[in-house]
Copies of this chain bind each other. A is one copy, B any other.
Amino acid sequence: MRLADWGELGLLDWIRDRAGAAKKRGLVLGIGDDAAVISPQPGKKLLFTTDTLAEGVHFDLKYATPYQLGFKLASVNASDIHAMGGSAGFAAFELTAPATTEKRFVERLFDGILDGLALYGAVLVGGNVSGSRGGLVLTMGLLGYAKNPVKRAGARPGDGIYVTGPLGDSAGGLEILQKMGKPVEIEKGKRAKMGGLSWADMGPLLKRHLIPEAKRPPKNATSMIDISDGLFLDLARVCKESRRGAKIYEDKIPVSDELRNAAKALDLDLFALWSAGGEDYELLYTAPKGKGKDILIGEIIPSGLYLVDREGGERPIGPSGWEHFGYPSP
Contact = CB atoms under 8 A, between A and B. Distances in A.
Interface of A: 1-6, 8, 11-12, 14-15, 18-19, 22-24, 26-27, 29-31, 33, 35-36, 38, 40-41, 43-44, 46, 48-52, 54-58, 89-90, 92-94, 96-104, 106-107, 110, 114, 121-135, 137, 139, 141, 143, 145, 324-330
State the number of copies, please. 2
A3 B106 contact: yes
Contact of A49 (B15, B114, B126): B126
A106 B6 CA distance: 11
Contact of A96 (B8, B52, B130): B52
> Which one of A56, A139, A328 has the greatest number of beta carbons of chain B within 10 Å?
A139
> Which one of A29, A102, A122, A137 has the greatest number of beta carbons of chain B within 10 Å?
A137
5 contacts: A12-B129, A24-B123, A46-B46, A57-B132, A99-B328
B48 A126 contact: yes
A281 to B, nearest CB: 15
A125 B31 contact: yes
A125 B56 contact: no
A118 to B, nearest CB: 8
Nearest to A19: B124
Contact of A52 (B55, B130, B143, B329): B130
